[in-house]
Structure 1
Amino acid sequence: MSAGGLAAAAACLSVLSVFLTRAHSGGMAGWGLFFVSLLNYKTEKYVIAENRRIGILFRLYQLAVLGYIIGWVFVVRKGYQEREEAVQTSVITKLKGVTLTNSSETGLHLWSAEDYVIPPNGEQVFFIVTNYIETPNQRLGFCSESSKVPSGRCLSDDDCVEGETVTAGHGIKTGLCINSTGTCEINAWCPLPVSFICREPLLSDAENFTIYIKNFIRFPKFEFSKSNVLETSDDSYLKRCSYDREMHPYCPIFRLGDLVSWTGHDFQDMAVKGGSVGVLIEWNCDLDKDSSRCNPQYSFTRLDMNLNNSVTSGYNFRYARYFKDQNGETYRTLYKVYGIRFDIMINGQAGKFNIVPTLIAIGSGVALLGAGAFACDMILLYMMNTSSFYRERKFEIINFNKKLLRHENNKNKRLSDFFYISLQIS
């Protein structure tokens, strides 16, 4: 609403209050006058109030509104732009690195990306093995349940119901209680896996593995596409660069140890029991500028814990590799792997000049300026000692019939005076 519109609204409110007062004091006659007054037309009347306090208040308000419109709406929020946040995105990942492990159970084992990356096809979410427990040569048979499983403990055969599944256990009860272990006999893959975990990660060298994160984004409204890979004609750039916030902010190759350290945690500590790391790629593109200035911003956080001593932290799961012996019988090697899960999350928005949001922003600013005039009018009309005097000057009721009659009488009087003077002269 404009300043004039707000002032007119103030006038309407004042006139309405007058007629409501008359209606209250005059009964039905007052109500009749009120309803007749609804057919009247209210227009603006400009009155210059020489009140410095109100004048200073009004100018300060105008300066504040102008500062808000120019500084916040246009400069900071870019209110002159049309925005799009429905970014279309694709992520491709590729890991490189080789390490050698040596344990008493498995001996020497060479780990390459095909072994420690799950899944190996380079998706937006992937898992890297940093530690593991291996149980080789498991075969289907009968063995005693682990004493660490409460529902597998027993004192007699009556505690081991045949065919019953061991809750949070490893197999099916056979109905026998093994006195030497105090647990039920089960039908399962035997021997049972051990729960001992190394205090040091077996794949400690994974800290130096590298990950190549290739991200493509597209804003369909503006038909704009971009990649996080630096546009360069140097073919060897990606082979020798590594992401650094200062030196190489647009290199998409990251060292795993750096990714974890940027979350505020140590890689070797996280690698023992695993964890979850979020990689956030943020695109904020001003399409009124050159496309080379639309570049991603990276941030990193640990997702699997809120406190440093949280018991819920860590990440692990099991999988098995199956084989057949010379007799055709199946056996397997069970792996309980600990590692770091990486979640790559993409957010983005783009803006470009458009006349519609520009006009809306300007219109909102004009309405705010009008609100200042309305507020100052309310102060002058109702909140000052001289408010009654100001209302008398601000509002005037004009009866056109009486005014026209008075105007005609004055005109006729002037004409009669003119003819009288003319006759006297002649």
Structure 2
Amino acid sequence: MKNKIANALSDFFYEYETPRQVLVRNRRVGVVCRLIQLGVLVYIIGWVFIYEKGYQSTDTAVSSVFTKMKGQGYTNVSGNEKVWDVADYVFPPQGDSSFVVMTNYIVTEGQRMGRCPELKGKHNCSTDADCEEGSFKRQMTGVCANRTKTCEVLAWCPVEDDHNIPDPPLLMSAENYTLFIKNSVTFPLFDVTRSNLVEGINSSYIGKCLHDPEDAPLCPIFRLGDIVKLSGFNFETIARVGGAIGIVVDWTCNFDLHLKHCKPKYTFHGLYGNPAETDKAKASVGYNFRYARHYMENSVQKRTLYKVFGIRVDIIVQSLARKFDIIPTLTAIGSGVGIFGVATVVCDLVLLYLLPKREFYKHMKFKNTNTYAKDPDSEAGSIETELSKK
């Protein structure tokens, strides 16, 4: 018993098994094999290593964005002159990565809480019975106003009339406003922090530059009119009814190179609410919201209501950094070597099942052995029998 165990251990530790290989001279099979191997090689080198960069590890950035608008607007509505600065036309004013620049508005002044008739064309009535108290979007009082033949409502009076949007837009001067973007990104895996104020972008350069995709692609100061144009919008159209624009700051970096090569790239895209949309069956176009400025007059609370049409700007940071790493490199090489086995499998299938001499190839590839015992105490013997010889 001990001898059998010792022999088994000896066979396990001191013997090496190798697969048998048969060299087959067949032009068609050889060409198929080499073509498959070439395809696998092209896939490994071209796709895995060059295109997908399978030899590198990847990381995405933690990002922060700060913005600042500059510029003044001027309006003259019915002889009422007004100068608009950043505090008036930017919402919210904190310099977020998403904000709205007002380009047009409808103002309703001197509103006070009370009872007043709806606008003509809204909730028309002939008697009080047509005005169900508390129904619809307005808080109705159940009274039909004889003068307008519309239902009376409890609301801020006079009610807003937003049918006629000013055309041309009141703040066309917004086209010359400028936007300053300051962006910082950190790649935790590689312990790298970068800012869009890269090498050469100093206070002197910022003071005189204006972003241009060709001449000044790294300048962080953007003219609002240029942003609209690069996103595919017409400024007068988007200024009239509003819209949304995305500014994408793309950080695609290869840290196998020097850090100075890691620079942002700015692109501009029109988002939802395209003002060129004319099909009313689709989603509503433009972008607008309302806000009110409250005040007291003769101990009565009043407000000025603004319906604001503006350009919503969303700054979107996308990032992907890469750097050489031995682990993904070995993984890519190992998977590539494994794929080379596809050529062997395909060629074996062709040899064993498709070619006219498939039985011959089967006899050459596989050897059958007959094993029988000479006596109970002797080792097993084997006789190898060739099933076919040629």
Q: Partner of 1:230 in structure 2? A: 198
| 1:208-357 equivalences in 2 (<5 Å) | 208-232=176-200, 234-305=202-273, 308-311=277-280, 312-325=284-297, 327-357=298-328
Instruction: Provide the secondary structure at the position in 1 that maps to 2:66.
Output: strand
Q: Partner of 2:12 in structure 1? A: none
Aligned partners of 1:406, 1:108: CA distance in 2, in Å?
A: 110
Which digits, 9 at most, give the CA deviation of each residue in 1:114-161, with x for residues without a partner? 110000110011000000011111122222111232xx3222112234
Q: Partner of 2:27 in structure 1? A: 52
Q: CA deviation at 1:405?
A: 6.3
- Which deviates the most, 395-404 or 294-303? 395-404
Match 2:342 to one of 364, 371, 386: 371
Which digits, 9 at most, give the CA deviation of each residue in 1:236-279, with x for residues without a partner? 11111111111111111111111111121111111000011111
Where is the strand percentage greater, Structure 1 or Structure 2? 2
Instruction: Provide the secondary structure at the position in 1 that maps to 2:199.
Output: coil
Query: Counterpart of 1:95 in structure 2: which amino acid?
Result: M
Which digits, 9 at most, give the CA deviation of each residue in 1:184-219, with x for residues without a partner? 222222222222211101100101111011111111
| 1:14-163 equivalences in 2 (<5 Å) | 44-85=19-60, 87-104=61-78, 107-149=80-122, 152-162=123-133
Given that residues 198 and 263 in structure 2 are in contact (C-alpha distance below 8 angstroms), is that contact kept between their aligned partners in structure 1? no
Query: Counterpart of 1:113 in structure 2: which amino acid?
Result: V
Q: CA deviation at 1:232?
A: 2.6
Aligned partners of 1:402, 1:75: CA distance in 2, in Å?
A: 59
What is the TM-score of this pair, normalised by structure 1?
0.80
What is the TM-score of this pair, normalised by structure 2?
0.87
Instruction: Provide the secondary structure at the position in 1 that maps to 2:228.
Output: helix
Aligned partners of 2:265, 2:187: CA distance in 1, in Å?
A: 17
Larger-Rg structure = 1
Given that residues 130 and 339 in structure 1 are in contact (C-alpha distance below 8 angstroms), is that contact kept between their aligned partners in structure 2? yes
Q: Does 1:391 align with 2:362?
A: yes
RMSD across aligned positions (CA): 2.2
Aligned partners of 1:405, 1:335: CA distance in 2, in Å?
A: 101
Q: Partner of 1:358 in structure 2? A: 329
Where is the helix percentage greater, Structure 1 or Structure 2? 1
Query: Counterpart of 1:213 in structure 2: which amino acid?
Result: I
- Runs of 5+ in structure 1 lacking a partner? 1-40, 408-426
Q: Partner of 1:194 in structure 2? A: 161
Query: Counterpart of 1:395 in structure 2: which amino acid?
Result: F
Q: CA deviation at 1:72?
A: 1.2
Instruction: Provide the secondary structure at the position in 2 that maps to 1:186.
Output: strand
- Runs of 5+ in structure 2 lacking a partner? 1-15, 375-379, 384-390
Instruction: Provide the secondary structure at the position in 2 that maps to 1:236.
Output: helix
Query: Counterpart of 2:197 in structure 1: which amino acid?
Result: V
Query: Counterpart of 1:101 in structure 2: which amino acid?
Result: T
Q: CA deviation at 1:310?
A: 4.2
Aligned partners of 2:336, 2:141: CA distance in 1, in Å?
A: 80
Which digits, 9 at most, give the CA deviation of each residue in 1:145-185, with x for residues without a partner? 11232xx32221122344x15x234xx32232112211122
Aligned partners of 2:145, 2:263: CA distance in 1, in Å?
A: 66
Number of residue pairs aligned between Structure 1 and Structure 2: 358
**Percent identity of the aligned residues?**
45
Residues 234/90 of structure 1: CA separation in 2 closer, same or farther (3 Å cut)? closer
Instruction: Provide the secondary structure at the position in 1 that maps to 2:126.
Output: coil
Q: CA deviation at 1:233?
A: 6.9
Which digits, 9 at most, give the CA deviation of each residue in 1:331-381, with x for residues without a partner? 111111101101111111111111111111001111111111121111111
Q: Partner of 1:173 in structure 2? A: 140
Given that residues 119 and 161 in structure 2 are in contact (C-alpha distance below 8 angstroms), is that contact kept between their aligned partners in structure 1? no
Which digits, 9 at most, give the CA deviation of each residue in 1:18-41, with x for residues without a partner? xxxxxxxxxxxxxxxxxxxxxxx9
Query: Counterpart of 1:148 in structure 2: which amino acid?
Result: G
Instruction: Provide the secondary structure at the position in 1 that maps to 2:328.
Output: helix
Aligned partners of 1:161, 1:49: CA distance in 2, in Å?
A: 94
